[in-house]
Structures are given as structure tokens and as C-alpha cells.
Amino acid sequence: MSWHYSVIMRTTVRLNDQLLMAARRAAVERNITLTKLIEEALREKLSEQHRAVPERSFQVVTFNGDGVQPGIDLDDSAALLATMED
């Protein structure tokens, strides 16, 4: 059985007056506390950092040839360098 303890800490945050008033209005409109609104906003913002960035696909373009030579692994830079030096 795993236990998860949550520690609640107090801190002081300085906010722009207009931002604070807008946050208070949003909290009242949603019927939640200002603390809850700030927690939700921080969690959402921090979770963006963990979202996977979609990889862009690409195609290796070669000129005057039929593509990569057989046996060449473009992911093995040491072997690629050795082949190019030969």
C-alpha cells in the first residue's frame, strides 16, 4: 500500500493589480477560491512542459545517386564517420 502525503505551504506572491482583480473575478465566476484558481493555472502551465512535442517526419534527400548505401546506419555517427574517411 502506498501513501501519498501532501504538504501545504504558505507563500507570498506579488501580482499586478489588474491580473489579481481578473483572477478574483474568474474565481468568483467559477465559485472556487483564488488559491484553487492559481493552483489549477499553475498545474496546467507546468503540464505543458511535459507534453510530447510531435516529431516532424523528414526524408533524407540525396543527389546524383540511389539513396543511402546498403549497410549505412545514419544513426551510428561513429560508423558513418569511419565510412566517410575510407
- pLDDT reported for residue 31: 97
pTM: 0.51
Question: What tens digit of pLDDT does each residue of 23-38 get?
Answer: 999 999 999 999 999 9
Q: Domain for residue 59, yes or no?
A: no
User: Which percentage of the chain shows pLDDT scores above 70?
Assistant: 84
- Number of domains into which the chain is organized: 1
DSSP 81: H
What's the mean pLDDT in 49-74? 73
| C-alpha to C-alpha distance for 73 and 3, rounded to whole angstroms | 47
Q: Which domain holds residue 23?
A: 17-48
Mean pLDDT of the chain: 83
Indicate whether 24 belongs to any domain: yes
